[in-house]
Amino acid sequence: MSDRKRVTGPEKSVAPLLETGSVPAFIFNPDRRHDGRDVNHLRPVFMKSGVVRQANGSAYLEAGKLKVACAVYGPRQNQRTKISATKGSLGCDFKFSPFSGGRRRSYMKDEQEREYSLVLEQALSPAVRLDLIPKSTVDIFVQVLESDGSAACLAAAITCASLALADAGIEMLDAVAACSAGYFESTVCLDPTGEEEAHEGGSLVLSYMPSLNEVTHVIQSGETSTATTVKALELCVDACSQIHAVMQQSLIANV
Amino acid sequence: MALAGQSQPNAARKILIPGDRIPLVPDAAHQSKEGPLKVRVGPGLQQEQGDLVAVKAGVLKQAGGSKYWMDGSQKRYVPAASDPVLGTVTARQGESFRVDIGSAHPAALSILAFEGATRRNRPNLDVGSLVYCRLSVANKDMEPELECVDPATGKAGGYGELKGGFVVKCSLRMARGYVNACSPWNRRLVLITLNYSLLNPKNPIVTILAESISFELAVGLNGRVWINAKSCAEVIAVAKVIQACDGAAASDINKLINHELRRLEDAMDTS
Amino acid sequence: MAPAAAAAAPTPAGNGTSVSAMAVDGDVAAAASQGFSLDPDTFQKIHPAEFHRRFLSQGVRADGRPLQKFRKAKISLGPVSTANGSAMVRLGDTTIICGVKAEVAEPKPAAPRSGFIVPNLDLPPLCSPNYRPGPPSELAQTVSEYMDQVIKSCDLVNPETLCIEPGHAVWVLYVDIVCLNHGGNVVDAAMIALAAALKHTRLPQATYYETESTVRVTDTFTIPLSVKRTLVPVTFGVFDAAVVIADPTAEEEAHLSTTLTYVLDAENGEAAYGVLKSGGSAVPRDMLVACWDDARKRAVDVVAALAEAEQAGNRRPDVAAV
Amino acid sequence: MSKDVPPSINEKAFLLSALISRQRLDSRSPHDIRTTRILLGPQPGHAEVRLGKTRVTANVSCEIVRPRANAPTEGALLFTTDFSPMASPAFGDGPGGGGGSGGDEILIARVLERALRGSRAVDTEGLCIVAGEKVWQIKVDVRVIDHEGNIVDCACIAAVAALMHFKRPDVTVLGEDVTIHSTSERNPIPLTLHHVPICVTFAFFNQGMLQVVDPNLLEEQCAEGDMTFVVNRHGDVCTLSKAGGVAVEAGQVIHCARIAAAKAEEVTDMIKAALEKAAVKEPKVAIV
Amino acid sequence: MSARIRSDQRKLPSEMRPFYCSSALLSRSDGSVRFKSGDSSVLCSVFGPMEVKIRDEKLDKATVEVVFKAAAGNSTTKERLYERVIRETLEASILTALHPRSAIRITLQVLTDDGGILSTALNAATLALVDAGIALRSLPAGVTCMIDQEGVLLLDPTILELEAARSTHMFVFDNISDGALSNISTGSFSMDEYTSCYDTCFSAVAAVQQLFRSSVEGKVRREHGPEADA
């Protein structure tokens, strides 16, 4: 059934196919990635807090082509049915803009967006002092403007949301920084782009509180050896500390 | 530039539509010596500076020199204090009944607002019972409240549960016509003369009908009329007359009543 | 009784000095004379309409602008490389991003050569506390619809130029406009973004293969859209049915008696493609004409901002990410 | 949302005692349908039907679409039913919603589908333009605008009358090319209806012993059960549905079927009369 | 210029189609009106003041709900825009403060559409509010006009005429204020064309207002009998 609450076009439309052979085959080179980075280098990351005027807290993150905005509203009255008398809750909403990826996204939330909303909540909840805001909720809205690697997008969303929470003055044990890594055989490649992601064997996203040296969330997909995973975790922990530094700077800049 | 749609002076009009302005001409008899003109403005009118402004359609009425109101018709009932109304019990909530009287908000009828009611001696009303009551509280910001007892005497005075019979709906204007050809200011008077066996003797429909059929009537100003008579056929006949006369021209009323009475006689003869 | 002058002349916010005392009405004014004073933030929260009224009566607005001053439109083209065309527009706090994605569809039998342009404004819960997750709000739906009617009725892009193969394949341009920061006057920002993004849109070279009935495209976006005109939306707010203010902020919008939007031609302010005034207080003919005159001046500024954006950097995507 | 307040105990009791003495409150006999008025036009395929105070409009429109793969030569016939919030305060929902009591809306659309599509009343084969490529899709939008009981019968009369009044534009096919002729070029073409199915609903009272045809709102609210027949004037039963409610004897069902057939004939004649009346008013278009 | 004959046999560009209305036709609603302008016909019903959904409840005034339904098909964003314009126009006229925490529900059903459907719907809604006895500050009335490819202004165009429109304009005026309550204009037009559309619609609204008055007077006379004019 067509969407009655939006301006509608034709009933069905598809993304056009590429002419065969018009794109050169992708070859992964651990010494020199296609954007010139090293395997253990992040994309240069830029962050700014306080970008949404009417929100209690907000942040914008840009890393290469990847662009994510986040706003935090609350603590406010919990409108959901499940209310805890002792703890507050985080309501997370992760959305890709329709034009943010290669394929046009639908307006309805898809499986991936639902999953990422959940991961966002799981990764941030341990850091937020929910015990101080019983019966209330803090709503976190993440909007991806341009995506370049879905794991990287998720990591960026967690980092950005954490910065927005700090901007909103929500009490936290520590800021949460997140970082992604991709597996190419035994090589671990930090912060893979969309093109790299299409060819990787698996990926890992780590959410980490650098000052406390505690991990809040890890999610891995694909099969690797334990040693490779450990290597990826180590790389990500280091990268998270770098991200944390950028977060601090942007918070100071906004004071 | 003239305002759109204003071609005739309003002062001469009796039938007004919303937006019509009537300048108040100072009337020597009713102007108090020192202050400005004192006017009481009733339903359908507002006072702006020196003018009366209609907000509803109808006929401009004046009484006692300084009271003005609009006599119009509508179907939806808006509660007004001391109106007699006919309601259906929709729920029982602790110390009160919830009663549908056709207004925006359901009304509350306290279990103590009955003749001789105490906490021990509660009236027993089921959901779906019909009650004839009087509005004790009617305010746009409050839930309407009902009572089935005259607070002055403590007696039911005709109010309370109605058993048997049937209910028809009619326009608010017609309901008021049964009660009295009254202005909104003398509803109090109405209450004294009205209960469901004492009828307004002036109402032509009721008087003509009563010559042929004996029946009981309880009229709610919320546009509901309860009818009871010896036989179903008689109740149906009265109900049909009330519905047929609603909105009909006064000259046709006799004809409508006679038509229904004839039909009733035929039915009686065949059975 | 303390005169209304107890309210100190309002000082535009942002220049550092605080407003000493602002009285609300007789009672509070009396209280103020007894040494009770309200700080401007509290005053704004308690009596927002009166707060704005005080400012406007002094010919200035809460954010320091004169009544007829518009916020500068800051436009950047091509912020989203995954889109065929994109633009970001800032009007004060209001930030809106518009991305155009091209897809392929079968044309309607009645119009076998006509493509589609599908504009939709999204006001996500991110941009303001007034929106909740779920289907689009009434404002989003109605602004989308109005934009659609305007671009169709003024023939902004001839739909036949979107034809790939008559009767079989045409382009559908999904124009999605996302508000990231709601600082008032979303309509202007959204339409400027739409106009800029469509001008910036490039389509790939497309070929229809009849045997497999599919469309295949090159990996570069090279073909510009033939956009016939540049639309400039200009919105005014009317306060207390009498005071006209240009380009209202979100705080002002909540207390306006009506708003008035003109869609003018960027090249020729004499020509318009739309006017929208939905209910509220009546606007007399001379006010409608006077606002149109002011709107023309604004159109010139917006055109300059667009030109600036076009020069500033054509960060045009050249690789189709499929 | 506000629901209809159910009738009072007094009203229910009175209705039943009146029915037992074979009297209906609107002076009908148990097997009378209410006064029916059928208005057609001004545009083809537009009908407004009043059954007593119940009022339903039906609007027929057509569009060229691709046929379903498993029926390449068959046109499409779609029904949508909408309970407008104007029909009853109980049907309310905010702007943009699809009407009131969703379940009933679908139920009525199903009855109409079974009556008109299931019984092959409308010739869908005749709606084919180019086999496998282009067929006519006929859409019937039924809107309930005043609910005083027995929506389903009223909706069925409206849908049938609108379909019989409707005319689609003429088309010429030359190979793959299809030309649609405007009404000023060529006279439009009416749909072919093989027979005229009519819906007749009964309500049961007093443990199923009493039945009335075409119940009004109060009767509907007080009824113990109901049964809907779809029959044509030849007495062919197209659909029979009895969804729950009180059990009735098989003999009752047969009795009702006979009454329904008589009512169907009555209603069919009324539709025919309305069509003839509308045809007189219609301007004749000459073939240029 | 030769005498233009309009698509529906009207002689003049500034001629309106015959319009009329009938009220109180629906049995369930508190007020109802059918407003016809040529072959455009809209039915409007008003319920209220009635119970309001808790999420729409306003503590200081009534909530005005407008539902607009096209003749065929599901409602889309177009109906939503119509709903908003009609609601915002009527909200300014209805004395909503008289009925806090309640709803005034206006439902519009297009019966047949032959152009100018928004203004026809608005006129039906205004009269239905009067029929329902809702207190109103003023009576808003709408008129549609268009400018064709040759620059000729046509008042109250039909669907056929609208297909050839260069611009279309819908204006709403009421009987107390000297200005436009609502205006939707689309297409391509100059300032001069716009102001002449304003002026044409402004004068045309007087005829609609006259119909409002005569229809209300007729209804009141019927109900009151001879005493109405006494």
Note the pLDDT tens digit of each residue in A154-183.
Answer: 999 999 999 999 999 999 999 999 999 999
Mean pLDDT of A136-160: 95
User: How far, in Å, CA of A128 to CA of A170, rounded?
Assistant: 7
Quick check: is A32 in a domain?
A: no
Instruction: Name the residue with tokens 């009009």.
Output: B13
pLDDT attached to residue C313: 63
For residues D199 and D125, the answer to whether their CB atoms sit within 8 Å is: no
Residues of D (21-40) whose Cβ lies below 8 Å from B: 21, 23, 25, 27
Distance linking the first and last C-alpha atoms of chain B: 71
Quick check: is A19 in a domain?
A: no
AA identity, residue C135: P
Cβ separation D7–B128 shorter than 8 A: yes
Domain count of the fold of chain C: 1
For residues C249 and C183, the answer to whether their CB atoms sit within 8 Å is: yes
User: How far, in Å, CA of E171 to CA of E198, rounded?
Assistant: 7
Is E12 an 8 Å CB contact of chain D? no
Cβ separation C138–D64 shorter than 8 A: no
For C307, residues 6+ apart whose C-beta sits below 8 A from its C-beta are none
- Best of E76, E79, E80 to substitute, by most chain A Cβ atoms within 10 angstroms, is E76
Task: Tell me the three state secondary structure of residue A238.
Answer: helix
Chain B's closest residue to E99, CA to CA, is B140
Quick check: is A99 in a domain?
A: yes
**C7 alpha carbon, distance to own chain's centre:** 34
Quick check: is A25 in a domain?
A: no
Above 60 in pLDDT, residue C13?
no
Quick check: is D10 in a domain?
A: no
The count of other CB atoms within 10 Å of the CB of residue C313 is 10
* CA proximity to B85, closest of B185, B164, B190: B190
Lowest mean pLDDT among B251-255, D98-102, D109-113, E144-148: D98-102
Instruction: Show the domain range for D261.
Output: 22-281
Quick check: is D93 in a domain?
A: yes
- % pLDDT > 90, chain C: 70
Torsion angle of C-alpha atoms C30, C31, C34, C37, degrees rounded to 10: -120
For residues D147 and D85, the answer to whether their CB atoms sit within 8 Å is: no
User: How far, in Å, CA of C146 to CA of C241, rounded?
Assistant: 24
pLDDT digits (tens, 9 = 90+) for E81-132: 999 999 999 999 999 999 999 999 999 999 999 999 999 999 999 999 999 9
Question: Which segments in chain B show pLDDT lower than 50?
Answer: 1-8, 28-29, 180-199
Chain B's closest residue to E204, CA to CA, is B4
Quick check: is A180 in a domain?
A: yes
Structure tokens at D33: 């349908």
Cβ separation A69–C180 shorter than 8 A: yes
Instruction: Show the domain range for C218.
Output: 73-312
Structure tokens at D226: 């109901």
For residues C125 and C133, the answer to whether their CB atoms sit within 8 Å is: yes
Hey, which of A209-223, B37-51, D3-17 has the most confident mean pLDDT? A209-223
Distance linking the first and last C-alpha atoms of chain D: 56
Chain C's closest residue to A107, CA to CA, is C135
For residues B44 and E135, the answer to whether their CB atoms sit within 8 Å is: yes
Torsion angle of C-alpha atoms C232, C233, C238, C243, degrees rounded to 10: -10
Average pLDDT, rounded, for chain E: 92
ipTM value for the complex:
0.90
pLDDT category, E3, cuts 50, 70, 90?
very low
Is D208 an 8 Å CB contact of chain E? no
Q: Is the bond preceding residue D42 a cis peptide, omega within 30 degrees? A: yes
AA identity, residue D69: A
Cβ separation C279–E85 shorter than 8 A: yes
User: How far, in Å, CA of B135 to CA of B85, rounded?
Assistant: 7
All residues of chain B having their beta carbon less than 8 Å from the beta carbon of residue D27 are 236, 240, 263
Structure tokens at D109: 């659309």
The beta strands (E) that lie in A176-240 are given as 177-184, 187-190, 202-209, 214-221
Cβ separation E191–C144 shorter than 8 A: no
Cβ separation C273–E88 shorter than 8 A: no
Structure tokens at C36: 């009770």
- In terms of DSSP bridges, do strands B84-93 and B107-110 run parallel, antiparallel, or are they unpaired? unpaired
Average pLDDT, rounded, for chain D: 87
Residue A98's CATH number: 3.30.230.70
Is D95 an 8 Å CB contact of chain C? yes
Q: DSSP H helical segments within chain A, as ranges? A: 111-124, 150-167, 194-197, 226-254
Is D2 an 8 Å CB contact of chain E? yes
Is pLDDT larger for residue D176 or for residue D12? Answer: D12
Taken in order E189, E194, E196, E202, the sign of the CA dihedral is positive
Which strands form B21-23's sheet, in the order they lie side by side?
B21-23, B51-54, B45-48
For B70, residues 6+ apart whose C-beta sits below 8 A from its C-beta are B16, B42, B43, B44, B45, B54, B55, B56, B57, B58, B59, B60, B61
User: How far, in Å, CA of D109 to CA of D102, rounded?
Assistant: 11
Q: Kind and range of the H or E element at E173? A: strand E165-173
E20, with CB counted inside 10 A (0-12, 13-18, 19+), is exposed
Q: What are phi and psi of C207, to 5 degrees?
A: -130, 135
The domain locations on chain E are 19-228
Structure tokens at B205: 């429909």
Average pLDDT, rounded, for chain C: 86
B266, with CB counted inside 10 A (0-12, 13-18, 19+), is exposed
At the topology level, CATH places domain E19-228 in Ribosomal Protein S5; domain 2 (3.30.230)
For residues B134 and B82, the answer to whether their CB atoms sit within 8 Å is: yes
CB-CB: which of B18, B78, B140 is closest to E137?
B18
Chain D's closest residue to E76, CA to CA, is D96
Task: Tell me the three state secondary structure of residue D22.
Answer: coil
Cβ separation C109–D64 shorter than 8 A: yes
Is E105 an 8 Å CB contact of chain D? yes
Above 60 in pLDDT, residue C140?
yes
Cβ separation C274–E84 shorter than 8 A: no
User: How far, in Å, CA of B244 to CA of B256, rounded?
Assistant: 7
For residues D88 and D148, the answer to whether their CB atoms sit within 8 Å is: no
AA identity, residue A88: G
Chains that touch D (3 or more CB pairs under 8 A): B, C, E
pLDDT attached to residue C200: 93
Residue C188's CATH number: 3.30.230.70
How far apart are the CA of D188 and the nearest CA of chain C, in angstroms? 18
- In terms of DSSP bridges, do strands A17-18 and C214-224 run parallel, antiparallel, or are they unpaired? parallel
Above 60 in pLDDT, residue C318?
no
User: How far, in Å, CA of D28 to CA of D17, rounded?
Assistant: 15
Domain count of the fold of chain D: 1
Mean pLDDT of A20-43: 82
Q: Kind and range of the H or E element at E121? A: helix E117-132
Quick check: is D9 in a domain?
A: no
Lowest mean pLDDT among A42-51, C134-143, D85-94: D85-94
Strand partners, E74: none
Domain count of the fold of chain A: 1
Cβ separation D141–E83 shorter than 8 A: no
pLDDT digits (tens, 9 = 90+) for E202-225: 999 999 999 999 999 998 888 777
Above 80 in pLDDT, residue A112?
yes
Chain E's closest residue to D47, CA to CA, is E111
User: How far, in Å, CA of E205 to CA of C91, rounded?
Assistant: 38
* Residue D194 CB-half CA count within 13 A: 14
Quick check: is C158 in a domain?
A: yes
CA angle B155, B156, B162 (to 5 degrees): 165
Could you give all domains of chain B from N- to C-terminal order, each with its CATH number? 10-71 (2.40.50.100), 84-163 (2.40.50.140), 167-270 (3.30.1370.10)
Taken in order B254, B258, B259, B261, the sign of the CA dihedral is positive
User: How far, in Å, CA of B197 to CA of B229, rounded?
Assistant: 12
For chain A, give the number of residues.
255
CA distances (Å), B53 to each of B12, B16, B20, B46, E98, in order? 14, 9, 6, 5, 16
- DSSP structure class, residue D73: T
Task: Tell me the three state secondary structure of residue E117.
Answer: helix
For D115, residues 6+ apart whose C-beta sits below 8 A from its C-beta are D121, D156, D197, D199, D230, D238, D239
For residues D125 and D75, the answer to whether their CB atoms sit within 8 Å is: yes
Residues of D (55-84) whose Cβ lies below 8 Å from C: 64-65
Cβ separation B19–E135 shorter than 8 A: no
- In terms of DSSP bridges, do strands C169-181 and C116-122 run parallel, antiparallel, or are they unpaired? parallel
Is D148 an 8 Å CB contact of chain E? yes
- DSSP structure class, residue D122: B
pLDDT attached to residue B66: 77
Mean pLDDT of C226-248: 94
All residues of chain A having their beta carbon less than 8 Å from the beta carbon of residue C138 are none
| pTM, rounded to two decimals | 0.91
Cβ separation B240–D27 shorter than 8 A: yes
- In terms of DSSP bridges, do strands C73-77 and E63-69 run parallel, antiparallel, or are they unpaired? unpaired
Is D8 an 8 Å CB contact of chain B? yes
Task: Tell me the three state secondary structure of residue E7.
Answer: coil
pLDDT digits (tens, 9 = 90+) for A230-255: 999 999 999 999 999 999 999 998 87
Q: Kind and range of the H or E element at C139? A: helix C138-153
